[in-house]
A and B are shown apart, each in its own frame.
Chain A
Amino acid sequence: GNSVTQMEGPVTLSEEAFLTINCTYTATGYPSLFWYVQYPGEGLQLLLKATKADDKGSNKGFEATYRKETTSFHLEKGSVQVSDSAVYFCALSDTGFQKLVFGTGTRLLVSP
């Protein structure tokens, strides 16, 4: 079945550091890939998405590229801020389906 694997957290960084959160997936079809972010006390919010191979999703300085050859969708940001501290979820949905398969989430802690 479809699955998503994320790196274990927490990831602890200083402000302005470079961020990478790894995400790999297993899917039988041609999934769409998503990154969601969850701030404390809130629901998940869509951060970015990519719907086909080699697509790059970007938003708020975050980027992720859909790599079919390595079945990966790693999240990156060049310079993190304290306000980026949150839990980040990688997810996929298979072609024709609205149901999402989520990774376990990676907590990011950014210190001043």
Chain B
Amino acid sequence: DAGVIQSPRHEVTEMGQEVTLRCKPISGHDYLFWYRQTMMRGLELLIYFNNNVPIDDSGMPEDRFSAKMPNASFSTLKIQPSEPRDSAVYFCASSFTGGGSQPQHFGDGTRLSIL
């Protein structure tokens, strides 16, 4: 079975550039989550969707970050303009409704470096 697919796996870009991270969730899953992981702050939930609708974006650090889910099989996380402090590993995860008992399935992440 295909798991959660993220692209690109690595991204290196210069400060001020727009960055777009992509995620394809597991087919049939109706929840999608975006996380950021750094050494200093650990694993942070940025935003999550249910049935393509954003439910909680309170973890999005600032207006430079935006996320969309135009359909059940695709989501993007965009940073514009990017800054060096955005350097981190960004994970996408998906799950299906199960009253809280269903696990989330994670992609392998995108390692983002902003120079």
Q: Which residues of A contact B (CB under 8 A)?
A: 31-32, 34, 36, 41-46, 49, 51, 89, 93-100, 102, 104-105
Contacts and interface: CB of A to CB of B under 8 A. Distances in A.
B106 interface: yes
Interface residues of B, number: 25
A93 B101 contact: yes
B99 interface: yes
Interface residues of A, dominant DSSP:
loop
Contact of A104 (B33, B42, B45, B99): B42
B42 to A, nearest CB: 5
Nearest to B99: A96
B108 A43 contact: yes
Contacts, number: 57
B25 interface: no
B43 A89 contact: yes
A34 B103 contact: yes
A99 B57 CA distance: 12
Interface string B37-55: 0000011010010100000
B68 interface: no
A99 B105 contact: no
